Amino acid sequence: MTDEIVVIEGDGIGREVVPAAVDVLESLDVDFEFVAAEAGDATRDATGEALPDETYDLVADADATLFGAAGETAADVILPLREAVDSFVNVRPAKAFPSVDALRPETDVVFLRENTEGVYSGHEDRLSEGLSTLTRVVTSSASRELAEYACDFVEEGRGPAGNPDEGFTIAHKANVMRETDGRFRDEVAAVADERGVDADEELMDAFATKLPLDPGQYGVVVCPNLAGDVLSDLAAGLVGGLGLLPSANVGHDNGLFEPVHGTAPDIAGEGVANPTAAVLSAAMLLEYLGHVDEGQRVRDAVEGVLSDGPRTGDLGGSATTDEVTAAIVDRL
């Protein structure tokens, strides 16, 4: 059966790295139909809307979406798109590659971040001049759904190789946010217990110190929305930068796959962006749609090129996006 993949390049280097990822997908033996859609700053300038209804509907009806990045309209685009694919978990692997300089080369961590609620659920109010509030939402159902996914994830061996004790770590701040993070921690721990999966816990502030000091002790980390956003970016800094990191917004029968980086206005238009993060996002898309072997082939090709070159400027090389992409496709 042909899977329909919506492709949204967005702004800036999204217009360079997403075509690279599509080139890689097109070089494989998979039956995909690509449908281009528009979103982002340029779309807003042209149409008045950063995320046209047509794009939202295409994404909601597709099998998966490959997204680049949007500029200042990022929140107007990405938050509704995560909702369009009904995403309940944001999967963010942070792995150092042997051939790339990294602050902490032993880092190999996957963050499973709650993707719908917490402090990102959009309930902010200005009560008066000088007083604003935010309502933090934590439901048992979303916490348990994330926990079930985390249990599947470790049981299926999708965590980092050598994941300590094959379980996961819950990062939270339930000592202060007793009701909301308390509920999150209790529900996730209860599901792990029911499923016979080892789950230990860390207070997220202490975790933010322990992770950079000794990343080797962590494998899969399960956390609330904001904590996952911040801690996974911290991990990105340990492994050598934004040009390398993919992510997946996983829903029930849909998903949106995107590099962690933004539009990189400082290099946009020069054709020198590192396509690795976008190509690895495409590998996650392949795996999500069941093309596990093809996903692994893409990972192997990327790793080969990272090790033997050519490399883009962010990794100390001088190759263009197209040269790196061609080298990946060549290996495939």
* Footprint of ligand NAI (CB under 6 A): 13, 17, 69-72, 74, 78, 242-243, 258, 261-267, 273-274, 277, 312, 314
- CA 57-61-65 angle, 5° bins: 90
Partner interacting with residue 273 (select from Mg ion, ligand NAI, none; CB below 5-8 Å by kind): ligand NAI
Q: Report the distance separating Cα 89 and Cα 112, nearest Å.
A: 6
Q: Report the distance separating Cα 326 and Cα 332, nearest Å.
A: 10
Q: For this structure, is 229 an active site residue? A: yes
Which is the catalytic residue, given 3, 11, 56, 173?
173
Q: For this structure, is 293 an active site residue? A: no
Which is the catalytic residue, given 86, 186, 233, 322?
233
Of 67-75, 147-155, 229-237, 276-284, which part binds Mg ion (CB under 5 A)? 229-237
C-beta nearest to Mg ion: residue = 229
# binding residues, Mg ion (CB under 5 A): 1
Q: Which is nearer to Mg ion, 212 or 309 (CB)?
A: 212
Q: For this structure, is 205 an active site residue? A: yes
Residue type, 155: E
Partner interacting with residue 229 (select from Mg ion, ligand NAI, none; CB below 5-8 Å by kind): Mg ion
The least distance separating ligand NAI from the CB of residue 278, rounded to whole angstroms, comes to 7
Residue 328 burial class via C-beta count within 10 angstroms: exposed 0-12, middle 13-18, buried 19 and up:
buried
Partner interacting with residue 242 (select from Mg ion, ligand NAI, none; CB below 5-8 Å by kind): ligand NAI
Partner interacting with residue 165 (select from Mg ion, ligand NAI, none; CB below 5-8 Å by kind): none
The least distance separating Mg ion from the CB of residue 138, rounded to whole angstroms, comes to 20
Residue 10 structure tokens: 């967005």
Partner interacting with residue 95 (select from ligand NAI, Mg ion, none; CB below 5-8 Å by kind): none
The least distance separating Mg ion from the CB of residue 262, rounded to whole angstroms, comes to 9
The least distance separating Mg ion from the CB of residue 90, rounded to whole angstroms, comes to 9
Catalytic residues: 120, 173, 205, 229, 233
